[in-house]
Amino acid sequence: MLSHTRTLQQGAKSGLDLPTVFEIEQPAAFEEGSSAAASSRVKRAFDVVAAILGIIAFLPLLLLICLLVRLESPGPVVFRQRRGGLGGRPFEIFKFRTMSVVEQDGPLAHATKTDPRVTRIGGFLRRSSLDELPQLFNVLRGEMSIIGPRPHAVFHDEYYSERIPDYMDRLKTRPGLTGLAQVSGYRGEIRDLEDMQRRIDCDLAYIRDWSLTLDMRLLVKTIIIAPFDPMAY
């Protein structure tokens, strides 16, 4: 798996195109057989349809948030950061900017409840998870899925892959806007190595037990709990 990851990273650095909307890669749960390939296509079709419907439904809100972020503080409306994607291939994740100081690649500090970098509008966006809405465009680009393991910063992938067995196995499928770990209460600030281990256990369980029904259940649960999640800050 690690050699496969290096190959993909080298390909990305050499200028290979990012996955398109219609590209299909098979999650680990679908490694062999025609039924596996069909399942992978079903998941991708679900992602594309859900992303398009989400963008249409939230378009007025997206435009309003763009205006509010622009008016409150100087800087870009959309924050971009390199995250580890399918097979360890880096991509740029999109989020509404919620901090007055934009973070850069490298060692990153997770936001805390009293983080002075978070703006007033940014605090609301983070608590309601609305800052994640631009990732619907990552889904359309083929870089993310609606449901899957949350993508980590490239630095964190490198750090935790040396400390947690099977960590890189979570990169066998596209990262998601939300996932089993998030609806299970594991999100926000990482407290220690055991906290990350529990998140990885959830990610690997999702990959092992994937079904379209599971994706739908996790999506519905996310919609219900996301606006009230005490771990969102």
Per-residue pLDDT of the chain (233 residues), as tens digits, is 333 333 333 333 333 343 333 343 444 454 555 566 777 889 999 999 999 999 999 999 999 999 999 999 999 999 999 999 999 999 999 999 999 865 554 455 566 556 778 899 999 999 899 999 999 999 999 999 999 999 999 999 999 999 999 999 999 999 999 999 999 988 877 888 999 999 999 999 999 999 999 999 999 999 998 777 666 54
Note the pLDDT of residue 20.
38
Closest alpha carbon to 135 in 58, 76, 212, 60: 58
Could you state, in order of their start, the residue ranges of all structural domains in the chain? 32-228
Q: Name the CA dihedral angle for 205, 138, 51, 24, rounded to a multiple of 10 degrees.
A: -60
Q: Report the SS3 class of residue 81.
A: strand
> CA 96 to CA 132: how far, in whole Å?
7
Q: What is the DSSP string of 87-140?
A: GG-EEEEEEE--BSS---SSS-----TT-TTB-HHHHHHHHHTGGGTTHHHHHH
Note the pLDDT of residue 97.
95
Note the pLDDT of residue 29.
52
Q: What is the pTM of this model?
A: 0.79
Q: Report the SS3 class of residue 163.
A: coil
Note the pLDDT of residue 190.
82
